[in-house]
Structure 1
């Protein structure tokens, strides 16, 4: 795409000063941000810094654990991405400090790297809760990066038992990745069902039945009290608050994440208890410092991270774009042969239920639930046949009012809200 360019110590080429953009992090937002920067400024120097030595999707790390994909097959970027977009990638390097006054970064390799503008996409790391021995023991790992996945494979092949703490998406990914190992598998969740954020009880129960049929020992509505270890500090069993002990030689912790913002301490860049604070334009409170993705601790969804990276990079170049697509959360999942779409608000509090209409349909194709009010859809679950997902997504994306449609909300099709105008252009009713 772009020819190679050389830069002198004053960051000039041919006597003309060029911009130096630094992107911290090589996941969804960082890669989309770096690509956008190059597309909008072919002359800029673009430096990508990452602790990771590979570009990979964290969403499919369980495919590496299960042996379905190699690390190369986890790569979500274009072939030869780094060379194609003429990016200087400093891989295996960590940013230790950001000095906003001097506009430079202190790196783990000892380098002091100056920048004109910087995009923070440093993501998040697994949070290990303060359960006795859990933080100190061997073979306790999260599932957030490739090193975690490699460790799980290494220990999983030798161990006889494993426990996954947390039954959110990451926990279910971990269980799915380990199901073809010769392990006694247990899943511990303090909520009353698996995937408590994404699913209601009915949809969750369908997965629970299938996981139990596959031999997974589900422990719901319980908490980990202590990790019992041997004389070498290796896990032996997990003690629950019920008094039950679950055998485990490997523990995968999927109880939450914490934003990677430690290097921003004393930088002047504002953060809160969730993570980095950014505007809809991806700007922080410090000029020329931008952010995107999971480092904000909000809406940790892959498409959102990609969009945030694009928008922040566009504004770094000088465009004026805003992030407006924050509709709840959207997850499409396919575990143990069962596909599900979860969109927006899927569980209402008891005091909220009388304010909304909840339509439910179950038949041979699966389960559908749509939550709406005054013609606007606020959330939905579709499990089994996902063919209605496209229509549903358009209804929400285009903010279509469905109150005037007389047929069942489960039978709406494109003809109910999609028109062809006289000039043959498409529009929405």
Structure 2
């Protein structure tokens, strides 16, 4: 059996690892345009100088040799002939497969703002090449604009803070990390960033990137009429799934990306998918799980993705740790919101009819394990009489006679 996996990030690596664990004798090929294995979640540590390329690698030493994986690196898949079971490669060659796993990920989206797509030194923060360019340019330029204050934008700011450049963060929303946090938790980061010299521009829209005669950035014009100086622009306004190579195939995609079911199967026999290429739940743990599940089902060992608890984000910027779980704002007035602020620690829990639907914990994260279980398992806490911020495992787990746990 010949298995081919496209993409060497979280889903692809977990996919080939699981395939080898399940089939010791199969031919397994991993193909990627990347020439290094690295965690996208910590690329900002490369920019800041806290990690080199080797320390971005999340695989064990000698991973490919140990697992007998043939890694074709630096080669992009440009086409799929699903009826012939072959891939067209950027080097002009073709690669056949018996079963295929598509983990081609996503790429940074550059919005159609005048000058943004034409300008030099306009880059996302998605790939190692992006991080390398940003680090190199940060040593040369004086002013950097980061466009977008989501997780990737905040990563970029965090990586640049100690590099000596002037940083401006431009965000259409009224707060940083608008999806992950509420106003209070966001304000903690905003104050920290401002105290570190970051120029925050919130609730504004980019109108035009002003370029010189050689298409080098000079300034970003925003809708207030202000021109923000910049020689480097980092765009963190979203991603698009890497599905272009599927255009002439029979594999179904939608506006988000590749369509897969709970087994990782596409609409085409022997073709599976996992990770960011689907455009859904774009977080690392989900991609890893999807790679494992797709691998099992490729070998006929049924496994179903039941854990779609994707609304979980852990972050640690400028020395402040935060985790958001589920809903960060109540859906309507029928939900109860309880908060607790003690010095630099902030807790917020959203609940209704004995069920917790969301929470934000900032500072001391020791309570997040309990909250994750309560939300993920939809555990009823209505009979627990203690303070909602003091609930522990003993309040909702019982030890049965057979030494198994059950819920109260």
TM-score of the two chains, using structure 1 as the length reference = 0.94
> How many angstroms apart in 1 are the aligned matches of 2:105 and 2:354?
37
Look up the SS of the partner of 1:272 in the other structure: coil
Look up the SS of the partner of 1:118 in the other structure: strand
Which of these residues, 203, 206, 214, is aligned with residue 185 of structure 2? 203
Give 1:199-348 correspondences, 5 Å limit. 199-348=181-330
Give unpaired runs (5+ residues) of structure 2: none
> How many angstroms apart in 1 are the aligned matches of 2:380 and 2:343?
29
Which of these residues, 342, 346, 364, is aligned with residue 363 of structure 1? 342
> How many angstroms apart in 1 are the aligned matches of 2:169 and 2:360?
23
**C-alpha contact (below 8 Å) 1:330/1:343 kept by paired residues:** yes
Residue in 2 that maps onto 1:11: none
CA apart distance, 1:230 = 1.1
CA apart distance, 1:59 = 0.4
Whether 1:33 and 2:19 are equivalent positions in the alignment is no
> How many angstroms apart in 1 are the aligned matches of 2:195 and 2:206?
24
> How many angstroms apart in 2 are the aligned matches of 1:92 and 1:399?
44
Give unpaired runs (5+ residues) of structure 1: 1-18
Residue in 1 that maps onto 2:388: 409
Give 1:368-407 correspondences, 5 Å limit. 368-407=347-386
> How many angstroms apart in 2 are the aligned matches of 1:345 and 1:391?
16
Residue in 2 that maps onto 1:426: 405
> Which stretch of structure 1 is more off in the superposition, 50-59 or 400-409?
400-409
> How many angstroms apart in 2 are the aligned matches of 1:231 and 1:364?
52
> How many angstroms apart in 1 are the aligned matches of 2:359 and 2:366?
14
Residue in 1 that maps onto 2:2: 20
* Number of positions where the alignment pairs a residue of Structure 1 with one of Structure 2: 408
> Which stretch of structure 1 is more off in the superposition, 60-69 or 339-348?
339-348
Whether 1:170 and 2:152 are equivalent positions in the alignment is yes
CA apart distance, 1:234 = 0.5
> How many angstroms apart in 2 are the aligned matches of 1:243 and 1:116?
57
Look up the SS of the partner of 1:187 in the other structure: strand
**C-alpha contact (below 8 Å) 1:328/1:345 kept by paired residues:** no
CA apart distance, 1:397 = 3.3
> How many angstroms apart in 1 are the aligned matches of 2:157 and 2:193?
9
Which of these residues, 41, 44, 57, is aligned with residue 59 of structure 1? 41
Look up the SS of the partner of 1:35 in the other structure: helix
**C-alpha contact (below 8 Å) 2:11/2:287 kept by paired residues:** yes
CA apart distance, 1:428 = 2.8
> How many angstroms apart in 2 are the aligned matches of 1:365 and 1:388?
15
CA 1:403/1:328 → structure 2, altered by over 3 Å: closer, same or farther?
farther
> How many angstroms apart in 2 are the aligned matches of 1:180 and 1:288?
49
TM-score of the two chains, using structure 2 as the length reference = 0.98
- Note the alpha carbon deviations across 1:377-402, whole angstroms, 9 max, x for none: 21110011111111111222333211
**C-alpha contact (below 8 Å) 1:341/1:389 kept by paired residues:** yes
Residue in 2 that maps onto 1:91: 73
> How many angstroms apart in 2 are the aligned matches of 1:365 and 1:157?
34
Whether 1:115 and 2:94 are equivalent positions in the alignment is no
**C-alpha contact (below 8 Å) 1:191/1:221 kept by paired residues:** yes
Look up the SS of the partner of 2:200 in the other structure: strand
> Which stretch of structure 1 is more off in the superposition, 408-417 or 162-171?
408-417
> How many angstroms apart in 2 are the aligned matches of 1:138 and 1:326?
39
Residue in 2 that maps onto 1:133: 115
CA apart distance, 1:328 = 4.0
Look up the SS of the partner of 2:224 in the other structure: coil
CA apart distance, 1:404 = 1.1
